[in-house]
A and B are shown apart, each in its own frame.
Chain A
Amino acid sequence: MPLLEVKGLTKRFGGLVAVNNVDLSVEQGEIFAMIGPNGAGKTTLFNLVAGLYKPSSGQIFFNGRSVYPVRDFWSTYMPPLAAYYTVADAIRRGLGLGPMPLGLKTHAVTTLGVARTFQNIRLFSYMTALENVMVGEHARMHAQVWDALLRTPFARREERQVRERARELLRFVGLERYGEQYARNLPYGFQRRLEIARALATEPKLLMLDEPAAGFNPQEKAELMQLIKEIRSQGITVFLIEHDMKVVMEVSERIVVLDYGEKIAEGPPQKVRSDPRVIEAYLGKSA
């Protein structure tokens, strides 16, 4: 069973079809890359999987669980409204509109084990690097409001553990010396790595990296590839968007190519590189 499975996923923004009927599956433990020209719908697909956007149609499964649509949404989140949902769902189906389109909220997807970084880095600027990583552990913490208010022994113990783990993660990405610095004061390359550390702090099964090598020099790219391989060796599946062909070809085991929102190729790097449709999408059709 694949870790992430996307079936017939479509997203329309008004008249624009950003993602058009895409099927793909990411297997447990692999490094899976998504490439394509600018505007091909790669980031939109990430946002759909992460629950930031609602799909226009299609299905998303993660780890054997339906992330979109969520059939048991109301009975899970608001039991009193389950009856309303059942009726509305029946009406929609009767009218041929398909089931009620309800998906998991972004934070719920993260809690299931999907973590991501952003194409344009989105750190918490005025929090320290350490605090940024500690925020990442939020979903795995159990301190309730009362623990927070009264600083119970449980909350204190948990805070200590979380801080320790955050330090470990900073060490893992090579930022252990910068824990007390504000995220916005870190150089660009460090900010990218800090974002990865924050994503790893959510204890993900699937790590989605949106152009992690953008703006990197060759040495930084080499370090990044090393880091990605280390992350995978810890049993975390990596799903990345990347423009840099060298990085993609070296690090990934399988590649999917999007163009104008549609999947045009999928397979191992060598096969994709020589695919005529991919060459056409990148270089244009010869006259």
Chain B
Amino acid sequence: MKRPNARPPSRIIDRIRAFELRGLGAIGRGRNFPYLLLGIGLILFPILDPDSSHVNVAADAGHWILLALGLNIVVGYAGLLDLGYAAFFAIGSYAFAILASGQFNIHISFWVLLIASAFIAALFGVLLGAPTLRLRGDYLAIVTLGFGEIVPRVFRNASPITGGVNGIIGVDQPHLPPILGWNGNFGFNPVPYYYLILIILGVSIWLINNLRNSRLGRAWMAIREDEVAAAATGINTVTTKLLAFALGASFSGFAGTYYASKLFVVVPESFSFQAVSVVVLVMVVLGGMGNMRGVIVGAILIYFIQTYLLIQLPGWIDSAISALNIGFLTKLDISGYVQRSNYLIFGIILAGIMLLRPQGLIPSAQRKVELELGTSEEAVADLGSA
């Protein structure tokens, strides 16, 4: 027997839920609500956590996120495997350091150079991207790897301009007009840097999200999927790829400027292949190529593993051993082994994560379909009921 008024309870819950979402819509349109909370949390973080070293770590993590987001444009959207991303980061950093330091006694404002070095990095993105336009896949990776090695070497050897191995010390720091009892000098206080990178990141995420959902973003993805078909569909593959290199590089220009002014020094060693290019690529791939949220999570995770976990691990092992108080263990010097095999442990962690989640931590829809759904027949069967 069917009662006409009986409704499955789930539908009532749906209605209540829908009503709730409309109510929340006034603040953050329902699905955006968690992000709103996260945003408020991030803004209040330096106030809630008085330990300025934590804020410093967060401020440093910021420029890695920015680098990962920039590389995601090139690798994740346009599908161009770039192993030389450090080159653009180095160019951004040095552009700022040369134009805002005692090196030539040029002191251009940080705020002007923040934009200018993004343009300079973009220009070099085009210059280095142009010779690679005919290359794909492995061959592109090899050439970009070469550029990534050449650029820091040029900076190391062009001593009259770049200070050579010693780099440039005493890079200018940002100034703001005094507000709210704060004198406006950034100095070595991490809190203003934290807010600066937060703003830069917010703007960058907005810009990249716009790009992704634009004519240009679609053209990048079309080239990633099938270059011949993209060209036959009216996409100028040359300019589209160059724009991917240029826009990807421009975000590393932001990151470079921020990095140089926060660190106060620029040395060529900080832009090596293993220090930047690989780490950023790992952030992108491990987080989930092509997905901004995934890339951000990947960047934070890798940064955390590198700067916290690997450094603290020997200490933890030491204290664990002394707590266990087993004689022969204390003689073995396990923590020393761990300390010396930093990269090995990092590699094992990476391999472990990739085995568990080959599609990345938060995969883009594309990778998800590829790795989870498998064959096309199942997916089409779903359509029948739609």
A143-B221 in contact (CB<8A): no
B217-A139 in contact (CB<8A): no
B229-A118 in contact (CB<8A): yes
Q: A187 contacts which chain B residues (CB < 8 A)?
A: 376, 380
A138-B211 in contact (CB<8A): no
> Could you tell me the distance between the alpha carbons of A177 and B226 in the complex, rounded to whole angstroms?
24
Contacts A52-B228, A124-B225, A185-B376: A107 and B236 contacting too (C-beta < 8 A)?
A: yes
Residue A287 CB within 8 A of the other chain: no
Residue B379 CB within 8 A of the other chain: yes
Within 8 A of A (CB), among B20-64: none
A57 to nearest B CB, angstroms? 23
Residue A123 CB within 8 A of the other chain: yes
A124-B231 in contact (CB<8A): no
Residue B232 CB within 8 A of the other chain: yes
Q: A85 contacts which chain B residues (CB < 8 A)?
A: none
- Please name the residue on chain A nearest to B210 by beta carbon: A151
A145 to nearest B CB, angstroms? 6
B219-A138 in contact (CB<8A): yes
Within 8 A of A (CB), among B203-242: 207, 210-211, 213-219, 221-222, 225-226, 228-238
Interface string of B238-260 (1 = CB under 8 A from A): 10000100010000000000000
Residue B320 CB within 8 A of the other chain: no
B233-A135 in contact (CB<8A): yes
B222-A106 in contact (CB<8A): no
- Please name the residue on chain B nearest to A181 by beta carbon: B383
A200 to nearest B CB, angstroms? 11
- Please name the residue on chain B nearest to A186 by beta carbon: B380
A149-B211 in contact (CB<8A): yes
A150-B210 in contact (CB<8A): yes
Residue B130 CB within 8 A of the other chain: no
Interface string of A158-186 (1 = CB under 8 A from B): 11001000000000000001100110111
B229-A138 in contact (CB<8A): no
> Could you tell me the distance between the alpha carbons of A143 and B214 in the complex, rounded to whole angstroms?
8
Residue B370 CB within 8 A of the other chain: yes
- Please name the residue on chain A nearest to B368 by beta carbon: A126
Q: A136 contacts which chain B residues (CB < 8 A)?
A: 233-234
- The majority secondary structure among interface residues of chain B is helix
A138-B215 in contact (CB<8A): yes
B376-A184 in contact (CB<8A): yes
| A138 touches which of B218, B225, B228, B383 (Cβ 8 Å) | B218
B243-A145 in contact (CB<8A): yes
Q: A185 contacts which chain B residues (CB < 8 A)?
A: 369, 373, 376, 379-380
Q: A134 contacts which chain B residues (CB < 8 A)?
A: 218
Residue A100 CB within 8 A of the other chain: no
Residue A147 CB within 8 A of the other chain: yes
B233-A148 in contact (CB<8A): no
Residue B366 CB within 8 A of the other chain: yes
Q: A143 contacts which chain B residues (CB < 8 A)?
A: 214-216
- Please name the residue on chain A nearest to B223 by beta carbon: A124
Most B Cβ at <10 Å: residue of A50, A108, A182, A198: A182
Q: B237 contacts which chain A residues (CB < 8 A)?
A: 107
> Could you tell me the distance between the alpha carbons of A184 and B376 in the complex, rounded to whole angstroms?
7
Q: How many residues on the B side are at the interface (Cβ–Cβ under 8 A)?
A: 37
> Could you tell me the distance between the alpha carbons of A162 and B214 in the complex, rounded to whole angstroms?
11
Within 8 A of B (CB), among A7-48: none
- Please name the residue on chain A nearest to B229 by beta carbon: A122
Contacts A107-B236, A110-B233: A178 and B222 contacting too (C-beta < 8 A)?
A: no
Residue B112 CB within 8 A of the other chain: no
Most B Cβ at <10 Å: residue of A50, A107, A110: A107
| A116 touches which of B222, B232, B386 (Cβ 8 Å) | B232
Q: B379 contacts which chain A residues (CB < 8 A)?
A: 181-182, 185
B215-A125 in contact (CB<8A): no
A155-B214 in contact (CB<8A): yes
Q: A135 contacts which chain B residues (CB < 8 A)?
A: 218-219, 221-222, 230, 233, 235
B225-A52 in contact (CB<8A): no
| A159 touches which of B214, B219, B376 (Cβ 8 Å) | B214
A151-B214 in contact (CB<8A): yes
- Please name the residue on chain A nearest to B290 by beta carbon: A126
> Could you tell me the distance between the alpha carbons of A134 and B214 in the complex, rounded to whole angstroms?
10
Q: A139 contacts which chain B residues (CB < 8 A)?
A: 233-235
> Could you tell me the distance between the alpha carbons of A105 and B331 in the complex, rounded to whole angstroms?
71
Contacts A107-B231, A182-B369: A127 and B222 contacting too (C-beta < 8 A)?
A: yes
Residue A131 CB within 8 A of the other chain: yes
B234-A148 in contact (CB<8A): no
Residue A59 CB within 8 A of the other chain: no
- Please name the residue on chain B nearest to A133 by beta carbon: B233
Residue A245 CB within 8 A of the other chain: no
| B232 touches which of A106, A125, A148 (Cβ 8 Å) | A106
| A149 touches which of B207, B218, B232 (Cβ 8 Å) | B207
B234-A111 in contact (CB<8A): yes
Most B Cβ at <10 Å: residue of A116, A151, A198, A202: A151
Residues of A within 8 A of B (CB): 50, 52, 105-108, 110-111, 115-116, 118, 122-127, 131, 134-136, 138-141, 143, 145, 147-151, 155, 158-159, 162, 177-178, 181-182, 184-187, 198-199, 201-202
Residues of B within 8 A of A (CB): 207, 210-211, 213-219, 221-222, 225-226, 228-238, 243, 247, 365-366, 369-370, 373, 376, 379-380, 383, 386
Closest 5 CB pairs of A and B: A139-B234, A148-B214, A126-B366, A124-B225, A110-B234
30 A-B residue pairs with Cβ-Cβ distance under 8 Å, sorted by A, are A105-B231, A106-B228, A107-B236, A107-B237, A110-B231, A110-B232, A115-B232, A123-B225, A123-B229, A124-B229, A126-B365, A126-B370, A127-B218, A127-B222, A131-B221, A138-B234, A138-B235, A139-B234, A140-B234, A145-B247, A148-B214, A148-B216, A148-B217, A149-B247, A151-B210, A182-B366, A185-B369, A185-B379, A186-B380, A201-B233
